[in-house]
Amino acid sequence: MARPEILQIAPMLPVVTDQIAKLFTVHRLWEVADKEAWLAENGPRIRGVAAGGHSPINETLLGKLPALEIVAAFGVGYDQIDAKWAGSNGIVVTNTPDVLTDEVADLTIGLLISTVRRIPAAERHLRDGKWPSGAFPLTSSLRDRKIGILGLGRIGKAIAKRLQAFGLPISYYGRHKQDGVEYPYVADPVELARQVDVLISVIPGGKATEKTIGAAVFEALGPDGIFLNVGRGTVVDEAALIEALKSNKIQAAGLDVYADEPNVPEELIAQENTVLLPHVASGTVHTRNAMGQLVVDNLVSWFDGRGAVTPVAETAEVAARAKGGKA
């Protein structure tokens, strides 16, 4: 029996490519010169897609793959995939949750301390030979701060658990109040910002959350406020954030994600009251290999007829209804 044909959108880790090459017939789209012509000829045979974390997969592409059953995405965020369209057309989309939760939560704590205590600036002070001429200025502290978490999903809860060790009060905002959660719930991002002085965003991307965090939030957070974003850059109005940093409406920001990655606004880079990372929260060998293995596991489980391992919410009904294709 012919092996299922898989379309690989972009280069991926060897843990993915080596395994799927042995199990499926794999086509590497990024190596094709005339993609439109190739898709017109070969698209009807494609039953699965293996997609990197930033590979855009929209209705236009999906519509050229009439036999498509599953899109296995590398990453917990999947706002680059039109999952709603996929679900309404019988296609399952999977992501790679849980395996990166601890890594992202760990880095968030490091980013918080780095931002509050200005660790990168202090290191530059030493490396630039400035210490003999004077001590590095005193910084603010985590003491007596109140934490607000925007988005209390798996990662948000892991961050909150770590912050409990610091003895800091925690409250959260989400689409709804969660049962069994001990932290106070605040139904509005602006009101949450008003009640805290550290605001951590773990909100997922997509049109529904675009620019959720804007000028009103930063105004409410106040001049002693610290803002962190480890979720998606699109949830922040970057122009409003830059203005808040320049005018000292907030004290500082620590960011790992941006609206137009890998392009970061020069005005943001120029702000001294920032700690900026190049989207590395899950960027360890251990975690990325685990994410890659979950991509493979989803494809294998689906075509073995056992269903998707980690279907996203928009396609969960499709996953439940159909137990997968036959290899």
Residue positions annotated with a catalytic role: 232, 261, 279
- Which strands form 5-8's sheet, in the order they lie side by side? 25-28, 5-8, 46-51, 70-73, 92-94
Query: Tokens 């003491």 correspond to what residue?
Result: 143
Nearest residue to 247 (alpha-carbon basis) of 229, 221, 212:
221
Find tokens 């500082």 and name the residue: 252
Decide if 145 contacts 264 (C-beta within 8 A). Answer: no
CB of 312 closer than 8 Å to CB of 94:
yes
The answer to whether the CB of 205 falls within 8 A of the CB of 77 is yes
Q: Can you tell me the distance from the alpha carbon of 256 to that of 298, in angstroms, rounded to the nearest whole number?
A: 28
Q: Indicate the residue type of 108.
A: T
Separation CA 70–CA 52 (nearest Å): 14
CA 139 to chain centre: 30
